[in-house]
Amino acid sequence: MECVFGMVGNGFSLVVADSSAVHSILVHKSNEDKIMILDSHKLMGASGEAGDRAQFTEYVQKNVALYQFRNGIPLTTAATANFTRGELATALRKNPYMVNIILAGYDKETGPSLYYIDYIATLHKVDKAAFGYGSYFSLALMDRHYRKDMTVEEAVDLADKCIMEIRSRLVVAPPNFVIKIVDKDGAREYAWRESVKDAPVSNI
């Protein structure tokens, strides 16, 4: 029951993801960070098959770093989105990645942006986006309450409303979520919303 969603506010982009690692009827862990920090000003929230998600997001992260290393300048958010879309489209005809992506970034020239990229290589620049079963509730709430000029506090409050709705309405709802933000000061973790803590590993 994965859920990833994001939105663009006044000078920033925000991405929220659940942190459950689930297979079949088993929960393996509840503190899995599904939002990759690609570089200083880009975030990639991903949902999908665990192996594809981990492998593909790391692949994109390393290629973004390689481009900057070779050329001395970072990729823009739009260029990163198009590179990601291209790699998914190529893989689609060979060995598809079952991964859906919300890419958020901040560029000096264009400001904050958010891109919706799904597993069949559909790419759209959007103001708000969501993937997973939680999207039924988070998209409805964002349609009702979202504004383009939202402050960070207002956007986080809206994200909290989405999280509470997902927790209360989904049959098997993920308990924990991570919130990350990217703005002119860079990409960073903002907060965790936890209702379940992972039990410490015993030495028995």
User: pLDDT band at 23, cuts 50/70/90?
Assistant: confident
Residue 200 is predicted with a pLDDT of: 59
Query: Tokens standing for 54?
Result: 């981990």
pLDDT, tens digit, 9 for 90 and up, residues 162-204 = 999 999 998 888 889 999 999 999 999 999 888 777 655 555 5
User: pLDDT band at 28, cuts 50/70/90?
Assistant: confident
Residue 153 is predicted with a pLDDT of: 95
Residue 203 is predicted with a pLDDT of: 56
Residue 85 is predicted with a pLDDT of: 97
